Amino acid sequence: MVSISGSKKLKRQMAPLFWGITRKDKRFVVTTRPGPHGKHVAVPTAVFLRDMLKIVTSLREAKSTIYAGKVKVDGVVRKSLHHPIGLMDVVELDGMPDAYRMVPTDGRLLAPIRITDGAETTKKLARVKSKTTISGGRTQVGFHDGRSLITDTELSVGDACLLQVPEQKILEVLKFEEGCQALVTRGINAGRTGTIEAIEPGTFILPKRVLLALEERKIEIPADIIMPIGRDKPVIAIR
């Protein structure tokens, strides 16, 4: 029989650097399967437990933990070694008091930060990637983490929503506009936050761009790697 949805393993040398795995070990490592995040911007659940958090020491221990239903991602139990964990996902582990949120840090695409406030485990930021009008004149929006939602809330592509998970309830809309605080999600400035000073429309050659004021300088970067995080300060912990 043919393989469905690609291979379940990946050569270690080809794995993204932010996974934090050793290179001179076994030849293959588990990889992500199709899901809420792309394979180049997410980490498999087994690798997250073993190589990022280091709370298990082997793939066998990771399997035991995951198959026992002890891992929740955004409030939903995930029993797959290959489930992709990506930007702003909240991971809870049964028997542990703290949860973890995946955010860009110090130029690294993704890294877990500890969440000590229990109320924040039910909240996450999701960037609006698409917006479509469906029958009945209602609006369906698609978010960066693959989820979609039918809503009457006024939204635009580029905005971010503070969601309550797993209910997918919109608690607050963070507008993508001048003066708001924003997080750089990819590139050499990943993890940096600053104030949006100007938004330049896209052209035939150049994409839509943002002039972002960091602490010591200003940079112009593509708008699609920017996520609004609040007006004056982040609405959730990102560090």
83's tokens: 């489930």
Distance between CA 12 and CA 33 in Å, rounded? 16
Residues 72 and 162 in one domain: no
Query: What is the reported pLDDT for 4?
Result: 56
93's tokens: 């582990």
Residue range 52-82, pLDDT digits in tens? 999 999 999 999 999 999 999 999 999 999 9
Residues 104 and 13 in one domain: yes
Residues 130 and 97 in one domain: no
Residue 95: name the closest of 146, 56, 123 by CA. Answer: 56
Distance between CA 4 and CA 192 in Å, rounded? 38
The CATH number covering residue 85 comes to 3.10.290.10
Q: Residue 15 domain-assigned?
A: yes
Distance between CA 14 and CA 80 in Å, rounded? 21
Residues 206 and 108 in one domain: no
Q: Could you give the number of structural domains in the chain?
A: 3
Residues 147 and 196 in one domain: no
What does residue 168 show for φ and ψ, rounded to 5 degrees? 60, 40
Residue 185: name the closest of 138, 228, 130, 132 by CA. Answer: 228
Residue 93: name the closest of 117, 59, 120, 68 by CA. Answer: 68
The total number of residues written for the chain in this structure = 239
Residues 218 and 186 in one domain: yes
- The type of residue at 113 is I
Distance between CA 165 and CA 143 in Å, rounded? 13
141's tokens: 């929006």
Segments forming the whole domain that contains residue 78: 9-116
Q: Residue 192 domain-assigned?
A: yes
SS3 180: coil
Q: Residue 69 domain-assigned?
A: yes
Q: Residue 110 domain-assigned?
A: yes
Residues 108 and 136 in one domain: no
Domain end marker among 116, 142, 163: 116
Residues 25 and 107 in one domain: yes
pLDDT band for 97, please (50, 70, 90 cuts). Answer: confident
Residues 155 and 69 in one domain: no
Residues 131 and 72 in one domain: no
Residue range 168-226, pLDDT digits in tens? 999 999 999 999 999 999 999 999 999 999 999 988 888 999 999 998 899 999 999 99
Which residues are CB-contacts of 145 (< 8 A; sequence separation ≥ 6)?
A: 36, 37, 74, 86, 87, 88, 89, 126
Q: Residue 64 domain-assigned?
A: yes
Q: Residue 201 domain-assigned?
A: yes
Q: Is the pLDDT of residue 2 over 80?
A: no
pLDDT band for 122, please (50, 70, 90 cuts). Answer: very high
